[in-house]
Each structure stands twice: as structure tokens, then as C-alpha cells.
């Protein structure tokens, strides 16, 4: 997502509205499993950037819409970026949450027959005041979880002023009945940064994954998140993308569209023209800061991805929560808008 204003505004918002707040007690994660996979051999995943500064009403409706989608589509694992945490009462009131990932877990578990475990990896901001995190919600048992920070790169903020933003990658090892270990990687790469900086973070991400897989290789592997990487921008960002594909990672959505419809990856959401492939710029949702400053909605782009390695195959995949807005016109008008990002959903057929 666009971080050119948001990370600076996070600090300004926190400083302007800081009042004493109480730290909320964190509930213990629930035990979860995925027994249906043993029968079907299918694992369903969803990645979604949740918009840290969403207004309270939009966030609350979004939790319900995400939970309804998860239940209807049997989502086993949800990768979330920009979960928000705050212990400041005034910020909780504005944002409608003290811990958006845990609140989403609560809404999911109210509707799901099987509980979702939650794992959180702090990313940036001011702890206990206002910060963001990556998070995973899984109905399959999480047997291991840890995270690592990526190289800290400068991200443009206002009129040439830059700020360093911390980014990370988290990994969870899932126990899949009858199929062994599944490694899920979730990340959120720099925005409004130079292509060279994006390349540095991708190199570090791949090195981290290689180190993890070298010590304890998973039988199956998926990498998802907000990569802030747009193939339509041209050769420099395509080169970053090719770094991942040369490492053996397959773009789940692009691969499916090529196989089923003969579409090239760089033709998906091409040159900012809104279509069903775009993952940002096709929602009417704006954050608190953008709505108050009158900032325009972002240009449509495909910057959220699911990658996969190994011999597993894709049954189906699609971009979800992309109804369109006043600038784009209707795209999938029956779908709800839960964030300024769309999500990417995939059904994966596991090989034993």
C-alpha cells in the first residue's frame, strides 16, 4: 500500500492524541486443526492488507465480511498485513480496536466451526502507542513460528523527506494431517522506496527462506503478502519479480491466469487500468488520514501476491474484495470492500 504519508502520519496521529491507556490482556491462542484436508487434499489461503488507519465503522464491518468469506470459502490460513495495535484510549476509539488481528480472530471464531490460531510479528511504529504488525490466522496447528526483520530502507514521505521503516517476514510451520509440514511465509515490503531498496529486501527475504528451509524443509511452501511490486511499472520492478521466480517461487495468480486464459503476468492490471486483477486502487475505502486530507485514491496496481514452490498445484485463485470505486467504475460490485487493498485467495491441491 502507499506508505508515503501513512507512516509519518502514524507518528503524528499518535503524538497528537496520546492519552494514558491501559494495556489489554492478550488471550491465549486456541488449539486448531484442519482434519478436512486429510480427506480433500486441498488447502485454502488468503492474503490481505488490512489498512492500519481504517475508521472504526469500516474496520468492524470488514471483520464481519472477511469472516463470512472465510467460512463460505473454507479458508484454512489468512495472512494479514498492517494489523494495528494500540493501548491509547483515544486511538482505540478512532480505529475501533486495540488489536485488530485479535479482534478479527474473535469474529472468525464466532462464525467458524473450527478455531483459528493467531501469530503476530510486530513491524513498525511506537509500541503501546500505535504500531503495525503482520499476522497469521490458521485453523491448522501451528507447531513453530518466528520472524525476522528485513533491511531497513528509506521510504519517501513528504517533499523529499525520507524516513526509515522497519519491515519483516514471519513464518509459521503448520501440521497438515497426512501431508506433513507446510511452511507459510508472510511479508510486507517497502513502499515509496527505490527499486534498489525493494531488491535488497527481496534478497534478504529469499536468504531468510533459504536458511529456514535448509534447517527444516517443509513438504509444502507458500509465500504471501503485500510486496509493493508492480510489474506494469516496467523492467526494474520486473527484474525484482524475476529474482523470486528464479529462486523457484511460482506466482500463483499469474500462473493460473496464464494456464487458463493465456494472459501474461505483466498484462494483469496493466498500466493502471482497473480490472479484476488489481489489488489496490479498486476499493472505495480510505484511511483516516487520506479521508481527512482529501487525498486521491491510489492508482490501480497489482502489488499483493501469493507465491508457491514445490509440486503442489492450484485448483483456483482469484482477487477478492475489489468492488470498484467512483474513479474505476464497478468491477465486482457485489463484493464488499474491507480495506483499501483487495485480497488474493487460492485453493491449493497438496501432493503427498
Q: Is residue 282 pLDDT above 50, yes or no?
A: yes
Confidence grade of residue 159 (pLDDT, cut at 50, 70, 90): low
Confidence grade of residue 26 (pLDDT, cut at 50, 70, 90): very low
Q: Does domain 6-15+33-349 have CATH number 3.60.10.10?
A: yes
Mean residue pLDDT of the chain comes to 89
User: For the chain, what are the domain ranges?
Assistant: 6-15+33-349
Confidence grade of residue 15 (pLDDT, cut at 50, 70, 90): very low
Q: Is residue 8 pLDDT above 70, yes or no?
A: no
The pLDDT, as a whole number, for residue 30 is 46
Pairing type for strands 130-138 and 77-85 reads antiparallel
Q: Do the beta carbons of residue 215 and residue 273 sit within 8 Å?
A: no
Instruction: Name the grid cell of 41.
Output: 487434499
Mean pLDDT of 337-341: 97
Q: How far apart are CA 30 and CA 284, in angstroms?
A: 34
The pLDDT, as a whole number, for residue 216 is 86
| DSSP 8-class letter at 159 | T
The pLDDT, as a whole number, for residue 156 is 65
- Digit-coded pLDDT (tens) for 174-231: 988 889 899 999 999 999 899 999 999 999 999 999 999 999 888 899 999 999 999 9
- Helix or strand or coil: residue 109? helix
Confidence grade of residue 281 (pLDDT, cut at 50, 70, 90): very high
CB neighbour list of residue 288: distance below 8 Å, 6 or more residues apart:
13, 53, 54, 55, 94, 95
Q: How far apart are CA 69 and CA 336, in angstroms?
A: 10
Model pTM greater than 0.85?
Answer: yes
Instruction: Name the grid cell of 98.
Output: 486495540
Mean pLDDT of 318-329: 96
Mean pLDDT of 15-35: 47
Amino acid at each position: 500500500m502507499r506508505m508515503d504519508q501513512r507512516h509519518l502520519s502514524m507518528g503524528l496521529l499518535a503524538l497528537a492524541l496520546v492519552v494514558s491507556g491501559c494495556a489489554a490482556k492478550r488471550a491465549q491462542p486456541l488449539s486448531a486443526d484442519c482434519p478436512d484436508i486429510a480427506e480433500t487434499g486441498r488447502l485454502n489461503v488468503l492474503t490481505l492488507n488490512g489498512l492500519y488507519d481504517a475508521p472504526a465503522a469500516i474496520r468492524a464491518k470488514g471483520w464481519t465480511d472477511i469472516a463470512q468469506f472465510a467460512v463460505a470459502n473454507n479458508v484454512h490460513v489468512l495472512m494479514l498485513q498492517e494489523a494495528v495495535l494500540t493501548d491509547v484510549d483515544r486511538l482505540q476509539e478512532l480505529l475501533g480496536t486495540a488489536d485488530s488481528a485479535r479482534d478479527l480472530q474473535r469474529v472468525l471464531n464466532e462464525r467458524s466451526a473450527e478455531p483459528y490460531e493467531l501469530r503476530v510479528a510486530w513491524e513498525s511504529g511506537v509500541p503501546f502507542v500505535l504500531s503495525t504488525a503482520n499476522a497469521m490466522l490458521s485453523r491448522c496447528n501451528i507447531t513453530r513460528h518466528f520472524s525476522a526483520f528485513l533491511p531497513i530502507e528509506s521510504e519517501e514521505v513528504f517533499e523529499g523527506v525520507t524516513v526509515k521503516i522497519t519491515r519483516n517476514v514471519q513464518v509459521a510451520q503448520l501440521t497438515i494431517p497426512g501431508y506433513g509440514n507446510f511452511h507459510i511465509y508472510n511479508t510486507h515490503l517497502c513502499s515509496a522506496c527505490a527499486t534498489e531498496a525493494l531488491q535488497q529486501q527481496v534478497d534478504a527475504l529469499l536468504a531468510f527462506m533459504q536458511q529456514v528451509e535448509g534447517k527444516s524443509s517443509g513438504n509444502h511452501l507458500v509465500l504471501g503478502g503485500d510486496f509493493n511490486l508492480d510489474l506494469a511499472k516496467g523492467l526494474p520492478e520486473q527484474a525484482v519479480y524475476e529474482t523470486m521466480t528464479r529462486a523457484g517461487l511460482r506466482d500463483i495468480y499469474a500462473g493460473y491466469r496464464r494456464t487458463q486464459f493465456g494472459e501474461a503476468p505483466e498484462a494483469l492490471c496493466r498500466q493502471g487500468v482497473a480490472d479484476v486483477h488489481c489489488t489496490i486502487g479498486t476499493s472505495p475505502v480510505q484511511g483516516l488520514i487520506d479521508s481527512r486530507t482529501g487525498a486521491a485514491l491510489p492508482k490501480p496496481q497489482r502489488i499483493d501476491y501469493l507465491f508457491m514452490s514445490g509440486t503442489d498445484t492450484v485448483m483456483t485463485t482469484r482477487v477478492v474484495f475489489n468492488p470498484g470505486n467512483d474513479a474505476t467504475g464497478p468491477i465486482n460490485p457485489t463484493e464488499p470492500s474491507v480495506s483499501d487493498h483487495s485480497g488474493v485467495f487460492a485453493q491449493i491441491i497438496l501432493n503427498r
